[in-house]
Amino acid sequence: MARDWGRVWVIGTSLLISFISFSSQIFVVWPWYGREISVDLLKLLIPFNFCVFMVFWNYRLCIITPPGGVPQGYRPDLNAVEGLEVKKGNHAPRYCKTCEHYKPPRAHHCRSCKTCVLKLDHHCPWIANCVGFHNQGHFLRFLLWVDIATSFHIVMVVQRVLFISYKQYEEPTLSDVLFIVFNFAACVPVWLCVGMFSIYHVYLACGNSTTIEGWEKDKVATLVRRGKIKEIKYPYNIGVYKNIKSVLGPNPILWLWPQPMRGDGLSFPVNPDAGDPVIQYSWPPKDPGQIPNPRPLPSATSAFIYGNEGFNPNLRPSNSHLRARSTHNPTEGEETYSSGEDRDYESFSESSRSSSPEIYLSDYDEHNDGPLAGQRLPRMRRGSEGWEVRSAAGSWADHMRDIEGRGGANSRRPWEEEGRYNYYIPDE
Query: If 0-12 CB within 10 Å is exposed, 13-18 middle and 19+ buried, where does residue 154 land?
Result: middle
Q: Which residues have C-beta within 8 Å of that of residue 327, sequence separation ≥ 6? A: 374
Burial class (CB in 10 A: 0-12, 13-18, 19+), 308: exposed
Distance in angstroms (rounded) separating the CA atoms of residues 188 and 182: 10
- Exposure of 270 by Cβ count < 10 A (0-12 exposed, 13-18 middle, 19+ buried)? buried
| Catalytic residue from among 124, 187, 193, 206 | 124
- 3-state SS class at 110: strand
CB neighbourhood size of 240 (10 A): 12
Strands 379-383 and 386-390: antiparallel
124 is catalytic: yes
Q: Which amino acid, 206?
A: C
160-169, long-range: CB < 8 A, 24+ apart: 160/28, 160/29, 160/32, 163/32
Write the DSSP assignment of 163-193 as a string of letters.
HHHH-TTSPPPHHHHHHHHHHHHHHHHHHHH
CA distances from 138 to 57, 123, 128, 248, 396 (A): 9, 14, 14, 8, 84
Count of CB atoms situated within 10 Å of the CB of 261: 22
Alpha-carbon distance of 193 to 321, in angstroms, equals: 72
**Distance between the two ends of the chain, CA-based, in angstroms?**
87
Buried b (16+ CB within 10 A) or exposed e, 340-362: eeebebeebeeebbbebeebeee
Catalytic residues, which ones? 124
